Every structure is written in C-alpha cells, then in structure tokens.
Chains A and B, each alone.
Chain A
Amino acid sequence: QVTLKESGPVLVKPTETLTLTCTVSGFSLSNARVGVSWIRQPPGKALEWLAHIFSNDEKSYSTSLKSRLTISKDTSKSQVVLTVTNMDPVDTATYYCARITGPFWGLWYFDLWGRGTLVTVSS
C-alpha cells in the first residue's frame, strides 16, 4: 500500500522554526520520475504549493517563501523533511505532503496525498 504521512508539532511559537517530516511507504524516493511536494492550506483558504524535491535531488521553492524554506530527503529512511523558519501566526495551516509523478519528465501531477497535519502558530 502506497502512503504518505506527515508528522511534526501541532503548536509552535512565533519566531520558532517548524520542522515537518513526510514518511512514505510503498514506493522509493529514489524511483525515477518521483518526487515529494509540500503544500499548505490555511483554515478556510486555498491550497498553496511550498516546495518539492525529486529523486535526482532537484529542489524548488515557492518564490514568496523561498528565504524561509528548506527541503531535504533521506532516501534510506523514506523521509522528506521541510523546515520553515521564523514562523508567524499567518503560517497557521494544514500542511500536506504529496507524491509527484508523471508519465515523463515535466508532466507532473500529485497522485497521492498525506492526510495533512494542522500546525498552529501562537504564543
């Protein structure tokens, strides 16, 4: 069974750094044409793509949040980690990880998603 599961703190204080882990099963992070993306959704609002990392270690970040984001992967542990620095109450959201795949390089879609984890930023 192919799954993704997010884990991390449910509450962080303003200015702290958030570290989220996406643990995948049923597929390898070293598979060709496979990547993992992080997406967030503030309560009642739209989806916002944050970052992704591919099997070849290619990474990309949201332009508006680039200075605060770092994505990395540990293939042996089947984990992708996202850190977000200098957290603010506006960063309160459900954070999802999703598998990126596609029939050829460049034609991507997010075919599997984790359940998401709600992170609240409050003092």
Chain B
Amino acid sequence: DIQMTQSPSSLSASVGDRVTITCRASQSISSYLNWYQQKPGKAPKLLIYAASSLQSGVPSRFSGSGSGTDFTLTISSLQPEDFATYYCQQTYSSLALTFGGGTKVEIK
C-alpha cells in the first residue's frame, strides 16, 4: 500500500498566520491527493481534491499544491474556525485509498 506521511503532526499558530502542512507519499501519486478538515466530534470535510482543486463552498484562503510525492496545504490567513485536524488522502491506488496521520492545528 502507498504510505502517506504528514508533517508536522501538530502545530500552534495565531489567528492571521500563514500555515503550511506537508504530505509525502511513499511513491509517486501524480496529483491524486485530497485534503480534509476534521473538527472534534465531527465527520471530516473535503477541502481540496486533485491536489489543488478547491471544493465548492470552501474559503479561498485554503489552497493546495504539489504533484508526484510531495504536497502542501496552505491556509493563507488562519481564522478561528480553522483550528482543527487536517488529513491528506491518496487516491492514486484505487485499491487502497489511504490517509495520512493527520496534523492538528492548535491556537497559540
């Protein structure tokens, strides 16, 4: 199976900060990479699909980039409602749609 590694596993940031989260695949996955946001006690929510396409209704401060093995999720100006855990997911191998280990974004 393709392994997905996120870094950092957690970070502290302030409202207004620019935040970057990294996801690395164990092999090339082209642009078959999605990002989800999960708040405590809630189901995950799709933010970005195909590495850089913004899901409908998601604020434009969220953006994704990368291809091959290295990907980033960027929040251009962190808002109070953005404190959550973020997960990447590869869908290159339709036999196993694996997730990364998550990055928790906390208030500094």
B-binding residues in A (CB < 8 A): 37, 39, 46-49, 52, 60, 62-63, 96, 98, 100, 102, 106-111, 113-116
Instruction: Identify B98's interface contact among A49, A102, A109, CB under 8 A.
Output: A49
Q: Tell me whether A47 and B102 are in contact (CB under 8 A).
A: yes
Closest to B56 in A: A111
Q: How large is the interface on B (under 10, 10 to 19, 20 to 34, 35 or more residues)?
A: 20 to 34
Q: Does B94 contact A (CB under 8 A)?
A: yes
Chain B residues with Cβ below 8 Å from A48 are 99
Report Cα–Cα, A110/B45, bound state, in Å. 8
Closest to B31 in A: A107
Q: Does B101 contact A (CB under 8 A)?
A: yes
Interface mask (B25-61 → A, CB under 8 Å = 1, otherwise 0): 0000000101010100001111001100001000000
Q: How far is the CB of A50 from chain B (nearest CB, A)?
A: 10
B71-97 interface (Cβ within 8 A of A)? 87, 89, 91, 94-97
Instruction: Identify B100's interface contact among A39, A46, A102, A110, CB under 8 A.
Output: A46
A-binding residues in B (CB < 8 A): 1, 32, 34, 36, 38, 43-46, 49-50, 55, 87, 89, 91, 94-102
Instruction: Identify A110's interface contact among B32, B46, B94, CB under 8 A.
Output: B46
Report Cα–Cα, A102/B100, bound state, in Å. 20
Q: Tell me whether A110 and B44 are in contact (CB under 8 A).
A: yes
Report Cα–Cα, A47/B46, bound state, in Å. 14
Q: Tell me whether A46 and B101 are in contact (CB under 8 A).
A: yes
Q: Tell me whether B91 and A115 are in contact (CB under 8 A).
A: no
Q: Tell me whether B43 and A37 are in contact (CB under 8 A).
A: no
Report Cα–Cα, A37/B97, bound state, in Å. 9
Sample 26 A-B pairs with CB under 8 A, ordered by A number: A46-B101, A47-B38, A47-B44, A47-B89, A48-B99, A49-B98, A49-B99, A52-B97, A60-B94, A63-B1, A63-B96, A98-B44, A100-B97, A102-B91, A106-B32, A107-B91, A108-B32, A108-B91, A108-B97, A109-B46, A110-B44, A110-B89, A113-B43, A113-B44, A113-B45, A116-B43
